[in-house]
Structure 1
Amino acid sequence: MTLRRKLLLVALCTLALPVAGWLYVRQMENLLRDGQAQALTASARAVARSLAVAGAGLPEGDRAWYVQPAQTPITVDGYGDDWAPLTPWSQAVGARGKLLLAQDASGLYLWLDVRDSRRTRADIGDPLVLRADHVVLALSRGDLQRRYLLASSGPGPVTAQALDPPVAGLPDTFAAQWQEDGSGYRIELRLPGSAGITGLGVGVFDPADGGSPLAVEQRPLLAYSDALSAELARLAPDDVYARVLSPQGWLMARSGRLRPEGDGRQPGWFAALIYRSLLADRVQAAEPWMQDTPRLESPEVAQAQHGQPAAVWREGETRASVVLDAAVPIERGGKVRGVLLLEQTSRAVPLLANRALFGLLLTSFAVLLVAGGILLAFATRLSLRLGKLRDAAERAQAADGRLDGLFQRGRFPMSDAPDEVGDLARSFEKLFEAVGGYTDYLRTLASKLSHELNTPIAIVKSSLDNLEHALEADGGVSADAASYLARARDGTARLGMLVRAMSEASRMERAIAAAEPEDVDLREVVRGCAESYRTLAGTRRFDCELPPSPLPFHGAPELIAQALDKLFDNALSFTPADGWLRLELRPLDRGAEITLANQGPPLPEAMQGRLFDSLVSLRDKATPGDAPHLGLGLYVVRLVAERHGGQALARNIEDGQGVAFTLQLHGMPRARL
C-alpha cells in the first residue's frame, strides 16, 4: 500500500466523528419520543377516567353485535353487492355463519351468510322444519325478547315465523330474502327502525352438527354513539384525534382530527429517507390505524383491552411525519368497559432530528474534506520528496558499482532539509561518498599493484641471474639447483604476466570508457567481422545469420568488433577441428542482440556466473615455461556490453552440443548540445 493510500485511510478515521454524532442524535430523538409518549399516555388516562365517571354510551357487556352505518342504499334482494364495503368487518356466528348489520334512516338491515355444502331443505310450514337447515333470530327490546324462525326449501322470498308470544313494539312477522348456491345460503332482511331493538340473538342450525334447533347466541346491539362523541370532544385535548373503542375494538365514538405540527413545511424526500433509515426506530404501517376503520385490531389495542396502557409510533399521512398512538383502558367497577385511543401527529421531532443530523453531517463532511485534503497534500509532497531520493539513488550508481557522475559531493537532493527526509538524504550522501571512494580504490588497485610489483619482480629476476652465475663460477650448477632455478624463473615469469595483465585491464577500462559513439549500421559491422572470421575458422564450419534490412545503431563500432574478436578467439579455442560456429544478429525492441555459438564442451555450472570477471579462464593450465592465459577476453566483452547499456550472457545450448555467448546492446547515450 502506498504512502498516500495509508494517509487516506488515516483520514477516513475521522468518520468516527459523524458516527458518534449520529448515535447521539438518535439517542436524543428516542428520548424526545419517550417524553411525548409519556405525556400523551397521561392525557389519555385523564380522559379515560372522566369518561368512566360520565358513563354515557359505554357498552355494558363483554360481547355485542356491532351495527355499522350503511355507506350505500341497501336493497333487500338476497345478494351481497350492497354489503361489499362492509364485508371486511363481518362477525362470526357459530362455526358456519358470518353476520353483517347496518343501519340507516329506514331501519336495521341484516345479512347472514352460512356456508353449508350439504343442505337439508324444508319450508317453515313443514312439520320437520326444525330438523332441517334453518335460522332462529331473537329480537330484544329492553328485557323483552321474541324469537323468529327462518327456513326455506329454495331461493326466494321467505316470511319469518314467530316462535314466542307477541311482545309490544316487536313485529309479529317480517319478510326476508333467501338465496343459495352450492356453497351455502344467504339471508337478507330489514327490520323497521321504530321497533327499538336493543339486542339480537342469532342461531344457525345444521342437522349434521347436531345441537339444539332453537339455540341462539344473544348479544346486545352496539353502534356509533353521538352522545359519547360529544362527551369525548369536550374532554379530549386539542390537535388530537380521539377514538373510543368497545372491549372488542369496535368504534364507539370519535372526535378531532390529525393535524400537522410546526410551520407546515414539508421536508424533502431525501430528508424523509434519512430520518426513516438512520434516525427513527422502525415504525408501524399506517393501514391498521386508518381513521375510517370501524374496528381496530392491533397489539396495542389488545393490550389496553387487558387493562394495560400502550403507546406506539406509526407512519403519518404526510412525508416524514410520524403519529403517536396511545391506548388506555376505560375501567368502571373494576371492569374494562372500553378503550380510549389518542393519536397525535408529531413532525417536530423529525424536523429537529433532521436539522441536527444534517448540521452534524455537514460539519463532519467539511472536517473530513479539510483533513483529507491536508493529509493528501502532505502525502503527495512526501511521496515526491522520497521519489526524488529514489531517482537520485538509482542514477548515482552504475552497474559496476562506480558513480556515473550525476551525483556530486554536497549536491544530493534535499540534503539541506531539516526534517527526517533531510536526515535520510544526508545518510545517502555519506553512503555514496564511501561507496565512491571504495570503488575508485578498487578500480585503481590493479594499476597501483602492477606499478609497485614491477621493482620487486625485477630484483628477484636479477638475483636469480646472479645466483646462477655464482654457482657456475664455484664449480657448476647441480641438477637439483638447476631444477629449483627453473621453477623460480617460471614463477617469476608468471608473476610478471599477471602484473602486465592487471595493467592491461586498467588500460582497457580507460580506453573503453573514453570511446566516442557514432551512428552506424550494426548489420555491416557484424558482416565485416564475419568475413574475416571465415578464413580463421579453417576446417570448421562457420555460419552467419543477419537481418534482411539495415539495423541503425548508436555506439562504438570498434568496441563491438573488439568484443566479437574476443568471443571468436574464445570459441575457436574450444571448437574441435571438424566442429561448427554460428554468428547471429537479431534486432530487439530497444537495441540488438549478437549471439556467437560454437560446438564444444559445456560450461561448468559453478563458473557460469564468473566467466566475465577479470583474470578468470577455463583453459587448461599452461605447462612450465608456457605463457599463462590471463582471462581478459570475456572481461573486455562485459565492459563493451555495459558501455552500450546492455549485458553479456553465457549459456549451454539445449541439446548439449556446445555453448552460446550473447551480447545484448541497447546503445550509448547521445551527447547533449
Structure 2
Amino acid sequence: MSLRQKLLLVALCTLALPIAGWLYVRQMESLLRQGQEQALTATATAVARSLAVIDVPLPLPGNGWYVQQAVNPITIDGYGDDWAPLTPWSQPLGTRGKLLLAEDDHGFYIYVDVRTAHRTRADSGDANALSSDHLILDLVQGTQHCRYLLASAAPGSFTAQALDPLVAGLPSRIVGQWQEDGGGYRAEWRLPGGLGLTALGLGIYTAADGGDPVAADVRPLWRYSPDLSQELARLAPEATRARLLAPAGWLLAQSGRLTTSGPQPGWLSSVIYRSLLADPLEEAEPWTADVPRLDLPEVGRASKGVPSTVWRQGEERDSVVLAAAVPVERDHAVVGVLLLEQASRAVPLLANRAFLSLLMTSFGVMLVAGAILLLFATRLSLRLGRLRDAVERAQLDDGRMDGHLMQGRFPMTESDDELGDLARSFQRLFEAVGGYTDYLRTLASKLSHELNTPLAIVKSSLDNLEHAELSEEAQPYLARARDGVARLGTLVRAMSEASRMERAIAAAEPEDVDLIDVVRGCAEAYRSLAGARRLECVLPAQPVHLHGAPELIAQALDKLFDNALSFTPADGWLRLSLHPLEDGAEIELANQGPPLPAAMQGRLFDSLVSLRDKAIPGDAPHLGLGLYVVRLVAERHGGIASARNLQDGSGVAFSLRLHGMPRQRLAG
C-alpha cells in the first residue's frame, strides 16, 4: 500500500467529525424537546390550577359512571346492535357484568350485559324475586334516591319494582327488555330525560354467588360538558388542543385543535430526521380526538399526581405532537387530568437544518483535509522517489560510486526534515562505501605495482648470482628461488587480470538471447579442443530465451570446459547439456574423471582455489580464477554455480543456473 493510500486512510479519521456532530445534533434535539416539555408542562399546570380555583363543575374524587352521547337512535329491544359504536368503551359492573350508558334528546339509556352459566328466574313482582337473579337500580337526585328491582322469568318485556318509597321527580314505572342466551342475560331500558340525576347505582345479584340482594354500586355521573369546554377554551393557549379527563381517562371537556406550523420539509429531510435524529415517537392512533376515553400511561401517572409528557407522531406528515398530562387538584385531591397537546414542525426543521449544515461543513472539511493529505502524500512520494533514484544511481556499472553524487549533489541533503537527515545519512554512507570500494578496487593493482619493484630486485639479484661461481649444492636453491619468483610474477599479473575481469563482468550489457545458439556454438568450438575425447551436446527442442550477456555465458562455459578438460582422461567423455526452467535455464557440463573431495565442493568457486597439482617445478602456476569467474557470471545473471559428483561415481558435473539479468528501467 502506497503512502498516498495510507494517508487517505488516515483522512478517513475525519469521519469522526460528522459522527460527533450527529451526536451533538441529537443532544441538541433532546434539549429542544426538554425545553418544549418544560414550557408546555408549565402552561398545562397553570391552566389546571385555574380550573381548580374557578367555579366550574369538576368531577368529585373517586370513580364515576360515564354517560356517552348516543351516535344513532337506540331501540329498547334487549339486543346490543344499537350499542355497537359505544361497545368498545363499556364499563365493568361487578365481576360478571358490563355497563353502557348513553343519552340523547329522547332520554337516558342503560344497557347491562351479565355473564352467568346458572340462572334462577323470577319476575320483579314475585315473592322470591330478591332470591333469584336480578338487577338493582338506584337513582340518586341530590340527597334523595329510590331503588328499583329489575328481574324477569323469561325473555321479553319486564317492569321494574320500586323497593323504596317513590320520590317526586323520579319515574314511578320503568319498563325494559330482557334477553337471554346460553352464557347469560342482557337488560335494556330507558329513563325519561331531564331527571337531573346526580348519581346512579347499579348492582348485579346472582343466586349462585349469593351476597346482598339489594346492594348497588352508586357513583356520580360523568359526561362531556359543553359549558366546561367553553371555559377550557377560554383558558387554554392558542394553537393547542386541551382535553379535560376524569381520573379514569373519560373525556369531560375539550377545546382547540392541532395546527401544524412551519414549512413542509422535503422527503430527504424527513428520512434523515426519522432514521438518524428523532427519538422514538408514540403512535398517533391512541390519541385520536374521537374516543370518549384515553386509557394511556401518561393519563394514569397524572391521575396519581405526577405530571407526564410524551412525544408522538403528528397527524400531518413530518410533524410531531408534544402532549403534557397534569393533575387537576381540588382540596388536595386529584379530580381530573388536563391533557394539553401542541403540534409543531419546529423541532424536526431545526434538527434537520443543523444536521444538514453539519453534513455540508463536515463534507467540506473532509474534502479539504483529504486534498491536503493527498498533496502531502504526493510530495512525500516524489521526494522519496528522488531519494530512491539517487540511491540506485549512486553505484556505476563498474562498481564505483558516482562521484557527482558524492560531491554534494545528493538530493535533499539541504532539507531540514527527517528526509533531509536520511539523505545526509545516505550521503555519508555512500562516501564511506565509495572510499572503501575504491580502495578494494585498486588494491590488486596497487599490490601488483608495489610487488613489481621487489620482484625485479629479487630477479636481478638471481640473475647476478647465475654469473657468480656457486657450489653445486647452491645451484638447486637458486633454481627454486627463480621458480618462486616466476610464480609470484604470475600471481601479480593474475591479480591485475582478475580485477579487470570483475569490472568487465559488472559492465556487461544484457540482451535477449536464445541459449540454444550460445551452447551449440560453444560445443562446436570445443570439439576441436577435445581431441580423442567424446563430447556430447544435449539441447532441448524448443528455444530457451534469456535476458543476459551471451559473451559472459560463453566465457563461463570456456572456463568450465578448460577445467573439465584438464581432469578428463585422453579417452574419456564430456557432456554439455541445456535444460529450460520455469524462471530461467540450467547449463550443465559433466566429464569423466576423479570425484571432488567432499571438503572442497563448497569452496571450488572461490578465488585462488584450485585442485590441480601445484608441486611440479617449472610449470605455470594455476591460480584458481576460472571457476571464480564462472561464479561471477552466474551471480550477474541472478543465479548460482554449483558442482557435484555423478551418482555412478564416474565423474563430476558443473552446473550454471541462470535466471536472467534485470532489465534496465527507462528514466522518466
TM bucket (normalised to shorter chain) is 0.7 to 0.9
| Partner secondary structure for residue 307 of structure 1 | coil
Matches within 5 A, 1:78-477: 78-116=78-116, 118-124=117-123, 133-142=133-142, 143-151=144-152, 156-162=155-161, 164-165=163-164, 166-168=166-168, 169-170=170-171, 172-181=173-182, 184-261=184-261, 264-276=262-274, 278-397=276-395, 401-403=399-401, 412-413=410-411, 421=419, 424-425=422-423, 427-461=425-459, 463=461, 473=470, 476-477=472-473
Q: Provide the C-alpha distance between the structure 1 equivalents of 2:288 and 2:647, rounded to a whole number of angstroms.
A: 93
Q: C-alpha displacement at 1:635, in angstroms? A: 2.5
In structure 2, what is the equivalent of residue 663 of structure 1? 657
2:200 aligned partner, one-letter code: L
In structure 1, what is the equivalent of residue 642 of structure 2? 650
Q: Provide the C-alpha distance between the structure 1 equivalents of 2:367 and 2:614, rounded to a whole number of angstroms.
A: 78
Q: C-alpha displacement at 1:108, in angstroms? A: 3.2
Quick one: percent identity of the two aligned structures?
62
Query: 1:232/1:554 Cα in 2 relative to 1: closer, same or farther (>3 Å)?
Result: closer
Q: C-alpha displacement at 1:639, in angstroms? A: 3.6
| Partner secondary structure for residue 294 of structure 2 | coil
Q: Provide the C-alpha distance between the structure 2 equivalents of 1:260 and 1:242, rounded to a whole number of angstroms.
A: 15
Query: 1:569/1:351 Cα in 2 relative to 1: closer, same or farther (>3 Å)?
Result: same
Query: 1:366/1:513 Cα in 2 relative to 1: closer, same or farther (>3 Å)?
Result: closer
Residue 578 of structure 2 is aligned to residue 584 of structure 1: yes
Moved more, 38-47 or 118-127: 118-127
CA contact (8 A) 1:79 1:179 kept: no
CA contact (8 A) 1:244 1:338 kept: yes
Q: Provide the C-alpha distance between the structure 2 equivalents of 1:516 and 1:286, rounded to a whole number of angstroms.
A: 86
Query: 1:9/1:384 Cα in 2 relative to 1: closer, same or farther (>3 Å)?
Result: same
Q: Provide the C-alpha distance between the structure 1 equivalents of 2:515 and 2:389, rounded to a whole number of angstroms.
A: 32
Query: 1:192/1:642 Cα in 2 relative to 1: closer, same or farther (>3 Å)?
Result: same
Query: 1:536/1:145 Cα in 2 relative to 1: closer, same or farther (>3 Å)?
Result: farther
Query: 1:91/1:574 Cα in 2 relative to 1: closer, same or farther (>3 Å)?
Result: farther
In structure 2, what is the equivalent of residue 548 of structure 1? 541
2:557 aligned partner, one-letter code: L
Q: C-alpha displacement at 1:234, in angstroms? A: 1.6
Structure-1-length-normalised TM-score: 0.82
Q: C-alpha displacement at 1:379, in angstroms? A: 1.3
Moved more, 42-51 or 229-238: 42-51
Query: What RMSD in Å do the two structures reach over aligned CA positions?
Result: 4.3
In structure 2, what is the equivalent of residue 502 of structure 1? 495
| Partner secondary structure for residue 387 of structure 2 | helix
Q: Provide the C-alpha distance between the structure 2 equivalents of 1:584 and 1:57, rounded to a whole number of angstroms.
A: 118
Q: Provide the C-alpha distance between the structure 2 equivalents of 1:111 and 1:488, rounded to a whole number of angstroms.
A: 147
| Partner secondary structure for residue 505 of structure 1 | helix
Q: Provide the C-alpha distance between the structure 1 equivalents of 2:627 and 2:81, rounded to a whole number of angstroms.
A: 111
Q: Show CA shifts across 1:20-54 (max 9, x none).
A: 55555555544444343333333323322222233
Query: 1:88/1:518 Cα in 2 relative to 1: closer, same or farther (>3 Å)?
Result: closer
Q: Provide the C-alpha distance between the structure 2 equivalents of 1:515 and 1:24, rounded to a whole number of angstroms.
A: 69
Q: Provide the C-alpha distance between the structure 1 equivalents of 2:545 and 2:112, rounded to a whole number of angstroms.
A: 108
Q: C-alpha displacement at 1:370, in angstroms? A: 1.5
Q: C-alpha displacement at 1:382, in angstroms? A: 1.4
Q: Provide the C-alpha distance between the structure 1 equivalents of 2:307 and 2:455, rounded to a whole number of angstroms.
A: 119
CA contact (8 A) 1:540 1:581 kept: no
| Partner secondary structure for residue 244 of structure 1 | strand
CA contact (8 A) 2:511 2:548 kept: yes
2:640 aligned partner, one-letter code: A
| Partner secondary structure for residue 300 of structure 1 | helix
| Partner secondary structure for residue 193 of structure 1 | coil
1:218 aligned partner, one-letter code: V
Q: Provide the C-alpha distance between the structure 2 equivalents of 1:545 and 1:123, rounded to a whole number of angstroms.
A: 129
Query: 1:476/1:597 Cα in 2 relative to 1: closer, same or farther (>3 Å)?
Result: closer
Structure-2-length-normalised TM-score: 0.82
Query: 1:527/1:538 Cα in 2 relative to 1: closer, same or farther (>3 Å)?
Result: same
Q: Provide the C-alpha distance between the structure 1 equivalents of 2:18 and 2:47, rounded to a whole number of angstroms.
A: 43
CA contact (8 A) 2:301 2:308 kept: yes
Unpaired stretches in structure 2, ≥5 consecutive residues = none
In structure 2, what is the equivalent of residue 527 of structure 1? 520
Q: Show CA shifts across 1:512-546 (max 9, x none).
A: 46767777543132123345667878999976542
Counterpart of 1:631 (choices 613, 624, 627) is 624
CA contact (8 A) 2:538 2:575 kept: no
2:473 aligned partner, one-letter code: V
Query: 1:537/1:130 Cα in 2 relative to 1: closer, same or farther (>3 Å)?
Result: farther
1:477 aligned partner, one-letter code: E
1:173 aligned partner, one-letter code: I
Q: Provide the C-alpha distance between the structure 1 equivalents of 2:456 and 2:644, rounded to a whole number of angstroms.
A: 43
Count of residue correspondences: 657
| Partner secondary structure for residue 529 of structure 1 | helix
Query: 1:487/1:140 Cα in 2 relative to 1: closer, same or farther (>3 Å)?
Result: farther
Query: 1:542/1:63 Cα in 2 relative to 1: closer, same or farther (>3 Å)?
Result: farther
Query: 1:519/1:272 Cα in 2 relative to 1: closer, same or farther (>3 Å)?
Result: closer
Moved more, 245-254 or 512-521: 512-521
Unpaired stretches in structure 1, ≥5 consecutive residues = none
| Partner secondary structure for residue 63 of structure 2 | coil
Query: 1:134/1:427 Cα in 2 relative to 1: closer, same or farther (>3 Å)?
Result: same
Q: C-alpha displacement at 1:252, in angstroms? A: 0.3
CA contact (8 A) 1:526 1:585 kept: no
Q: Provide the C-alpha distance between the structure 1 equivalents of 2:533 and 2:114, rounded to a whole number of angstroms.
A: 119
Q: C-alpha displacement at 1:107, in angstroms? A: 3.0
Q: Show CA shifts across 1:239-276 (max 9, x none).
A: 22111111212110000111223xx3112233234445
Q: Provide the C-alpha distance between the structure 2 equivalents of 1:654 and 1:381, rounded to a whole number of angstroms.
A: 59
Q: C-alpha displacement at 1:449, in angstroms? A: 1.8
| Partner secondary structure for residue 176 of structure 1 | strand
Moved more, 448-457 or 488-497: 488-497
Q: Provide the C-alpha distance between the structure 1 equivalents of 2:28 and 2:19, rounded to a whole number of angstroms.
A: 14
In structure 1, what is the equivalent of residue 49 of structure 2? 49
Q: Provide the C-alpha distance between the structure 2 equivalents of 1:654 and 1:178, rounded to a whole number of angstroms.
A: 120
Query: 1:542/1:163 Cα in 2 relative to 1: closer, same or farther (>3 Å)?
Result: farther
1:439 aligned partner, one-letter code: T
CA contact (8 A) 2:588 2:653 kept: no
Q: C-alpha displacement at 1:300, in angstroms? A: 3.0
